[in-house]
Amino acid sequence: MNTSCSRTSMTKKAFASNFPSYSFIATMITRLREAGTQLRSLGRHWRRHSCSTTHLPAGSRKFPEGHRLQWRRSRVIEADADVTLEQFGDALQPPFPCLKELLYDVPGSEGVLNSPLLLIQVTRLVCGGFIFALRLNHTISDATGLVQFLTAVGEMARGALVPSIPPVWQRELLLARDPPMVTCTHHEYDDVPDTKGTLMALEDMAHRSFFFGSAEITALRKFVPRHLRKCTTFEVLTACLWRCRTIAILPDPEEEVRIICVTNARAKFNPPLSVGYYGNAIAFPVALTTTRKLCQNPLGYALELVMKAKSDVTDEYMRSVADLMATKGRPHFTVVRSFLVSDLTRAGSGKVDFGWGKAAYSGPTKGGVGPFPGVASFYIACTNKKGENGIVVPICLPAPAMERFLVELDCMLKDNDQVPDSKISTTFKSAL
């Protein structure tokens, strides 16, 4: 794939009119500290443009005999926007406006095979800042690997001759066994027919972000039973969101619903994967129950399911996943009545420095991404406009479901006078 070198200018009018448009990318926004600084080249894959902006060429891959990775160099995309960072709002959090302008959707780049490994656009703002927008081919790397790569780029842009963490390929460590042996139960790949049309349509989707600081997490922990008090913030937050979201989408009371907790499995292997491994080493452990049980039981019920799902990820579990992929042709994870959450708060992308300082925001641009809207959400480290540190979670739901979600979440966060373990959703009871 060849991408022509193009320049665009985004006016303030276009900024306002394109606010509802989104695309699946990761965004980094920062302010320039030294206007004359430029990124240095990183091997032959980096190219310096005459307009003091450097981009990673979109390389595409083919796998001929011998399984070698072949690169085809492409031209770069550069853009200027007639807007300032302040126009994105007081608190930089998803969903962000004008995403189609911030990352050009190169025709044919959305696939897995014969598509770019990375699609990057750098847009200069009139205030002297810039937006670094990226789309990743997830088969080649996960968030940890991507951040390692971007960190290396930043180090070399600031003068290093080699990355501080040498990259490790070693993809053979994650190959299936011979013969394959699926030894674990993998409900995350169940073939579930959407008999009642529960997959969400693109129309009338509402995108909102929710901030969870220390006050909000403390409020949720009031619903945690004594024997689960050692649960993590991720676990209690996931249990809460899964329950509130399930109530909001009103599935049949006897249907199964799933929570998929994306897990970094690097340390789960025996021995652990080498430091520097930048491939995709994530797992999709799942907890499932019926709508009725999830919504009528107190929060501790969902919390225990989430904690159990996370503990399922072991070396044998990961070997079993690899064997399943080899025998079943790499199935997609189950999306019917599923909710997938990915914790990016410790991914480290906010520490990447290309020579102009750390990002004011770094993370996904919205929730519910990909071909199945509303399924996925991300936990992103964030500082709100009050200066409080916490987690921001983008949620995507049909507009009526979003209203019900707001009611349920608000009840969990503010109505703590009731006995926690006796709390049952009034929305769910009225729907039965």
The CA-to-CA distance between both ends of the chain, in Å, stands at: 53
Taking the C-alpha atoms of 10, 110, 78 and 46 in order, what is their torsion angle to the nearest 10 degrees?
Answer: 160
Structure tokens at 413: 């966060």
Q: Three-state SS string across 113-153, please?
A: CCCECEEEEEEEECCCEEEEEEEECCCCCCHHHHHHHHHHH
Partners of 277 in beta bridges: 168
Smallest CA-to-CA distance from 403 within 244, 196, 176, 201 is with: 244
353 given a catalytic annotation: yes
Is 138 an active-site residue?
A: yes
**Distances in Å between the alpha carbon of 25 and those of 21, 136, 252, 255?**
13, 8, 33, 33
* β partners of residue 341: 261, 377
Q: What value does the CA radius of gyration of the chain take, rounded to a whole number of Å?
A: 22
Residue 384, number of CB atoms within 10 A of its CB? 15
Check 187, 252, 353, 415 and give the catalytic one.
353
Q: Among the options 45, 138, 204, 332, which is catalytic?
A: 138
Residues forming the active site = 138, 353
